[in-house]
Amino acid sequence: MKTTVPHLQKGDLVGVVALSSRVEPEKLGEALSFLEELGLHYIVGDTIYAQHHYLAGDDDIRLADFHEMVKNQQVKAIFCIKGGYGSARIAEKIDYALLEENPKIFWGFSDVTYLHCAINEYANLVTFHGPMLMATSKIDNLSKKMFFQLFSPMEIQYTEAISPLTTIAEGVARGELIGGNLHRLVNTVGTKFEVCTDGKILLLEERGEAIAKIDAMLQQLKQARKLEQLAGVVLGSFIETGSDEEELHAVMKDYFAELGIPVMAGFKFGHEYTNIAIPLGADAILDTQEKVLKILPGVY
Out of 20, 87, 110, 143, the active site residue is 110
| In a domain? residue 1 | no
Last residue of a domain, one of 105, 133, 150: 150
Whether 124 and 19 map to the same domain: the answer is yes
Q: Is residue 97 part of a domain?
A: yes
Q: Are residues 188 and 77 in the same domain?
A: no
Is 188 a member of any domain?
yes
Residue 168 and residue 146 in one domain: no
Q: Which residues of the chain have pLDDT under 50?
A: none
The residue from 87, 176, 271, 272 that is catalytic is 271
Q: Looking at the structure, tell me whether residues 289 and 236 fall in a common domain.
A: yes
Q: Which of 109, 22, 95, 108 is nearest to 64 (CA)?
A: 95
Given 150, 167, 194, the domain boundary residue is 150
User: How far, in Å, CA of 288 to CA of 65, rounded?
Assistant: 42
Sheet of 127-129: strand order equals: 41-44, 13-17, 75-80, 105-108, 127-129, 278-280
Do 162 and 86 share a structural domain?
no
Task: Verify whether residue 110 is a known catalytic residue.
Answer: yes
Domain C-terminal end among 85, 119, 150: 150
Query: CA geometry: angle at 185 spanning 80 and 89, to 5°?
Result: 55
Task: Supply the pLDDT for residue 226.
Answer: 98
Instruction: Please tell me whether residues 185 and 105 are part of one structural domain.
Output: no
Looking at residue 79, its pLDDT comes to 98
Shared-domain flag, residues 67 and 160: no
Asked if residue 7 is part of any domain, the answer here is no
Does some domain include residue 136?
yes
Quote the pLDDT of residue 154. 85
Are 171 and 93 part of one and the same domain?
A: no
Confidence at residue 5, expressed as pLDDT on a 0 to 100 scale:
86
Q: Supply the pLDDT for residue 1.
A: 76
> In terms of domains, do 160 and 131 share one?
no
The answer to whether residue 125 is domain-embedded is yes
Q: Is 268 in the same domain as 193? A: yes
User: Catalytic pick from 176, 205, 209, 272?
Assistant: 205
Residue 73, classified by CB atoms within 10 Å of its CB into exposed (0-12), middle (13-18) or buried (19+), is exposed
Same structural domain for residues 269 and 225?
yes
Shared-domain flag, residues 170 and 67: no
Does residue 3 form part of some domain? Answer: no
Domain that holds residue 184: 156-295
At residue 272's C-alpha, the angle toward residues 79 and 134, to 5°, is: 30
CATH classification at residue 232 = 3.50.30.60
**Based on the structure, what is the number of domains in the chain?**
2
Indicate whether 6 belongs to any domain.
no
